[in-house]
Structure 1
């Protein structure tokens, strides 16, 4: 089983190192291949996603990704910025389905921005489309007829793209509680009207799934008002990006949530949803649990090792129950100490 390790920038190398320690402790037959990505790759090769890194990713059965983002690269042309690496990997590997589970560990109820009785309801998966929307649409800067600067970004989906991600949403709901909420902005956007139409058409293939629809602004409100109403949310690239980050703070910390980006054959890229956090890089303050939980998702979805995934998730829960807390969770434990706590709970 070949795993590509792409640590990236900022705290990426620190959290990837802890996840690898946990994977190694499972005694599985894993082979690792590490490569540069993001700002680190640009500084070494002149490009955030070098061809060698892309080949490493293509050879692997699964990819464990840290984070990209480097303030030193902020002035570069857009196509050379570190963040283009993750967009490039999604496009080149056809990673169209992003799964972001959000569930509150009971021990972290006091870390949520919500009241404990509300936060305790959170147990959902956000299914986000990754290969379309404004992220990949035509974009640029131009001049208006009166000479003013104007930026533009084109949002678009075709029906096949919507149907493909809708089926992932329905299948995810089928494996959970059987409820799917499709989030759009069909009262304003033609793109969203097509989205809603195609999701409704696709629902005929899944008569056992309870389908509902919600505008994105209402969905954002409902996430903090009544998160327990959601089982699975399926939505587009832009809305999914925003809602999944909001859900992370409802669940306690952005340092706790993993994610999986999958192709049609379950090959995936797994990463914590947090960024590179350059302000704390190298200080041992980063919470590695989201990356460790991403490694569990890697085992479950791409490597067909559900029991090993269960062991990791149970170990994280036991470590938290025993009081393991990094600074983002109100504690003082270092990145390495948090890894030690999970390893101790694993054995």
Structure 2
């Protein structure tokens, strides 16, 4: 079985994944690595954004690490052939329903955030986003032409009790190992699915997690509170759509999207899916300017959550912080380093 299956993807994806391979060779040379085509490049080469063979190889590994997908050259491709379709299929087939998106502000980067130092210094927030349900997967969906000639677009937001309960359980379990607080975000005031979300989370809390502090917060208020006082939160849990939006808001608190990793987990014993939050950044692709730290920290999460190498994960995280303390900065962080130079600094810290 392959330990780590790599899907470099498009844009800056191959550049940052190449840096992960350098780090893995230095830190964990005994890991077995393999890789496949994914996203737009797979569509151009193989006729599909992810082939059945690549999907099977990913499912047979212990962990999957992807770079990024998409770019303007595929904007006119059929929706089911677009690079993003590969990501949705991968998440669905892997059944990775709990997306862990940490917003961790490394001390040396407290001044890189758009918020004041005193607001973000020491920030350690974990967003748990439901990843395989909700409006991104709900049916029916489509664009139809009405009798009067106008068009109507529609998507369906749908959740079941079990879908909500399993991701909420992940959030409660995580909180027990942190500061023991969970904030559940939804729109129960205007959405029936949001009301069910609140009721299911509340029932699970009373039944199994009464020792964890639980608060409910409307998603729009959560957006404001994340910017106003993010350190009031420990673990936040929310649906697919709100998790997509609110995790990007929290990402900016850390100084750059180039710093944010993520993990997508399913049932125990199944491979996890790891990816930097940033996109394919086609405007800088191929120029050696991308910040590789989000990808490197995604590898750190894979070591911790799927590969049973917590000690190696601790070493890598400490090396990233040491490199930043030494002044290592890519352009998104206000520095002049390129992609390879930033990894050089991490390797030197290791």
- Provide the secondary structure at the position in 2 that maps to 1:325: coil
Q: Within 2, Cα distance between the matches of 1:43 and 1:147? A: 36
Aligned positions of 1:5-24 closer than 5 A: 5-24=6-25
- In the alignment, the residues of structure 1 paired with residue 28 and residue 196 of structure 2 have an alpha-carbon distance, to the nearest angstrom, of 48
1:242 matched to 2:241: no
The yes-or-no answer on 1:295 pairing with 2:296 is no
Return the alpha-carbon distance in structure 2 between the equivalents of residues 52 and 2 of structure 1: 17
Q: How far is 1:122 from its partner?
A: 2.1
TM superposition shift of 1:106: 1.1
- 1:126 aligned residue: 127
Give the distance between the partners of 2:307 and 2:337, measured in 1 at CA: 31
Within 2, Cα distance between the matches of 1:41 and 1:93? 19
Q: Counterpart of 1:258 in 2: which secondary structure?
A: coil
Equivalent positions of 1:31-42 (< 5 A) are 31-42=32-43
Deviation beyond 3 Å, 4+ runs, structure 1: none
Provide the TM-score with structure 2 as the length reference. Answer: 0.97
Q: Secondary structure at the match of 2:210?
A: coil
- Between the aligned partners of 2:195 and 2:33, the Cα distance in structure 1 is 44
Say whether the 8 Å CA contact 1:133–1:154 is kept in structure 2: yes
Q: Cα distance, 1:325 vs. partner?
A: 0.2
Contact 2:5–2:61 at 8 Å: present in 1 too?
yes
Where does residue 235 of structure 2 map in the other structure?
A: 232
Residue number in structure 2 paired with 1:94: 95
Alpha-carbon distance between aligned partners in 2 of 1:279 and 1:56, rounded to the nearest angstrom = 31
Q: Deviations over 1:193-230 (max 9, x none)?
A: 00000000100201110000000100000011000100
TM-superposed CA distance for 1:339, in Å, is 0.6
CA offset digits 1:115-136 (Å, max 9, x no partner): 1111115211000000101100
How many equivalent residue pairs? 346
User: Alpha-carbon deviation of 1:144?
Assistant: 2.6
- Following TM superposition, by how much is the alpha carbon of 1:145 offset from its aligned partner in structure 2, in angstroms? 3.6
**How do 1:296-311 and structure 2 match up within 5 A?**
296-311=300-315
The worse-fitting range, judged by mean Cα deviation, of 116-125 and 211-220 is: 116-125
**Runs of 5+ consecutive residues of structure 1 not aligned to the other structure:** none
For 1:2 and 1:304, locate their aligned partners in 2 and report how far apart those are by CA, in whole Å.
11
Is 1:68 the counterpart of 2:72? The answer is no
Partner of 1:312: 316
TM-score by length of 1: 0.98
Counterpart contact for 1:121–1:227, Cα < 8 Å: no
SS at match of 2:115: coil
2:193 is the counterpart of 1:188: no
Aligned to 1:334: 338
- 1:274 is matched with 278
Task: After superposition, give the CA deviation of every residue in 1:244-284 in whole Å (9 maximum; x if it has no partner).
Answer: 11111111100001000111115201110000001100001
User: Tell me, what secondary structure is at the counterpart of 2:264?
Assistant: strand
Q: Deviations over 1:74-102 (max 9, x none)?
A: 00111100011111001111011100111
Aligned counterparts of 1:195 and 1:111: Cα–Cα separation in 2: 36
RMSD: 0.9
* SS of alignment partner, residue 6 of structure 1: strand
1:287 is paired with a residue of what secondary structure?
Answer: coil
2:253 maps to 1:262: no
Q: Which residue is equivalent to 1:197?
A: 199
Give the distance between the partners of 1:160 and 1:59, measured in 2 at CA.
Answer: 26
Question: How far apart in 2 are the matches of 1:92 and 1:187?
Answer: 33
CA contact (8 A) 2:107 2:122 kept: no
Q: Secondary structure at the match of 1:208?
A: coil
